[in-house]
Structure 1
Amino acid sequence: MFVKWLRESQIAAGLLTIIRLYLGYSWITAGYHKVVEGFDASGFLQGALAKATGEHPAVQGWWASFLEGIAIPNAGLFSFLVAWGELLVGIGLILGCLTSAAAFFGIVMNFAFLFSGTVSTNPQLVLLTIFILVAGYNAGKFGLDRFVIPFIRKQFKGKNNTSGTIAS
């Protein structure tokens, strides 16, 4: 019943817009500073790797292996992806454009930060993002998704075989 309300209610769409704007502002400000001032993830990645040792490690071994084998050797790529990812997720959420995609990539980044042993506001952002993801289209109803999603659906519908027969 709650999921149906999130997905269909105009009141829910309004509340989700407020949540979406808050999340978007959080992401866009973090990303903007990283893009403008420059961002090097090397220190963060090394710090996360250091949290994988000791009696009660904050970073699990499988994530430490990923950091050591993939993320740290490609720190420049990860710096770029984090800075621009945060900025683009923020823009998407604020504009309500491709809201579900923006929320998905935002929650992926939140989990990556959590896996790396950083708590900060990430749990709060994850929780709020879950509401956006569950609501789907309704979360971006008072945004550009009102126009973008029907356009995308129309484009895909036109390319599919709609005659009901199998093409030979």
Structure 2
Amino acid sequence: MFVHFLRENKGASGILFLIRLFLGYQWITAGWTKITSGFDANGFLQGAVASASGEHPAVQGWWATFLEGVAIPNVDFFNVLIPWGEFLVGLGLILGTFTTLAAFMGVVMNFAFLFSGTTSTNPMMVILGMLLIIAGYNAAKIGIDRWLIPIVKKSIHMRQMKPALHH
């Protein structure tokens, strides 16, 4: 019943729009701050790995292994990926462009931050992001997706209807 409300109700669309604006603002400002301040994830990543030890580690060993083996050796890539990812998620949510994808990528980043031992606003952002994902198209009716999604669907449908030239 709640899922139906999120996906179909016009009033829910307005509430979801406000959630999108709130989350979008959080993401876009976090990303822009990092972009303009010379963000370096190395200290954060090193701290997350250090939090994987002790009697009650804040970071699980498997995640620390990922950070040590993938993220830290490629920190320059993550120094670009994180701020621009945050900025683009925020922009997508604010404009209502590829809203479900933007919300999903935001939730993925939130979980990465949570896995790295940072709580902050991440649990709240995961919950709100999940509401947007569950709502699907209804979360984007007040936004560019209102016009973009039908064009994308039509394009996909046209490709499926096009007969193969070679057998």
RMSD value, Cα:
1.3
Report the counterpart of residue 85 of structure 1 in structure 2. 85
Gapped regions of structure 2 (runs ≥ 5): none
**C-alpha distance after superposition, 1:104-138 (max 9, x if no partner):** 10000000000000000000000111100000000
TM-score when scaled to structure 1?
0.96
Give the match's secondary structure for 2:73. coil
Matches within 5 A, 1:146-157: 146-157=146-157
Matches within 5 A, 1:18-167: 18-161=18-161
Report the counterpart of residue 15 of structure 1 in structure 2. 15
1:125 partner letter: M
Q: Aligned residues, how many?
A: 166
Sequence identity percentage: 60
Gapped regions of structure 1 (runs ≥ 5): none
Q: Distance in 1 between matches of 2:121 and 2:27?
A: 11
Shift of 1:161: 2.9
Q: Distance in 2 between matches of 1:126 and 1:162?
A: 40
- Structure 1 segments (4+ residues) deviating >6 Å: none
Q: Distance in 2 between matches of 1:75 and 1:83?
A: 12
TM-score when scaled to structure 2?
0.96
